[in-house]
A and B are shown apart, each in its own frame.
Chain A
Amino acid sequence: QKEVEQNSGPLSVPEGAIASLNCTYSDRGSQSFFWYRQYSGKSPELIMSIYSNGDKEDGRFTAQLNKASQYVSLLIRDSQPSDSATYLCAVNGGTALIFGKGTTLSVSS
């Protein structure tokens, strides 16, 4: 069974620090990878997609992909209290995205 694993957290960082969120996946054939942010009581919101090995940067967010290690990560620079949320890693499972259970990030001011 295809799986996506994330540390549930909570991950606590002070305002202005770098938050590092990690994800591993089981299907070596996966080709597309996504990070979603979910605020409490809200639906998931797509924040990053990555398809090739290496880094992809978008503002304060950097997604990193290592297909050989089956590892995806999300870095959030200059973390803000508004970044406090649950971050879901998603991997294309052939038919639909397979989601991890998410990592809760708490940014303290």
Chain B
Amino acid sequence: GAGVSQSPSNKVTEKGKDVELRCDPISGHTALYWYRQSLGQGLEFLIYFQGNSAPDKSGLPSDRFSAERTGGSVSTLTIQRTQQEDSAVYLCASSPSSREDGYTFGSGTRLTVV
């Protein structure tokens, strides 16, 4: 597609429920990243996918968080047993193969846990 597409744009969920966030990167971009941005905070790296290689999960804050990328394209970030501190904007970004490239971000998913 023309840009990075994320869905849903907004998600309100009850504490303890599981949520899935979706990201569709720019066609041809092999690198895909998930970040989250809490109110007044910087972007926190979560996970990185490059092609068919094993993902770098070093930024995931707990084992309640997981992500997968199917067919080297669409990615899903899953948060199990959501907590109020999970409330944030979850941003997906993609880039061409090189790590030296800047990223293009999607419009994000605003997650609110009540």
A residues with a Cβ closer than 8 A to B are 31-32, 34, 42-46, 49, 51, 88, 90, 92-93, 95-102
Contacts and interface: CB of A to CB of B under 8 A. Distances in A.
A32 B58 CA distance: 21
Nearest to B4: A43
A43 B56 contact: no
A44 B33 CA distance: 13
B71 interface: no
Interface residues of B, number: 20
B78 interface: no
B102 A46 contact: yes
B65 interface: no
Contact of B33 (A34, A42, A49, A96): A96
Interface of B: 33, 35, 41-43, 45, 48, 56, 58-59, 91, 99-100, 102-108
A60 to B, nearest CB: 19
Contacts of A31: 100
Contact of B43 (A32, A44, A45, A46): A44
9 contacts: A31-B100, A32-B99, A43-B106, A44-B43, A49-B102, A92-B99, A92-B100, A96-B56, A99-B43
B107 A43 contact: yes
Contacts of A34: 102
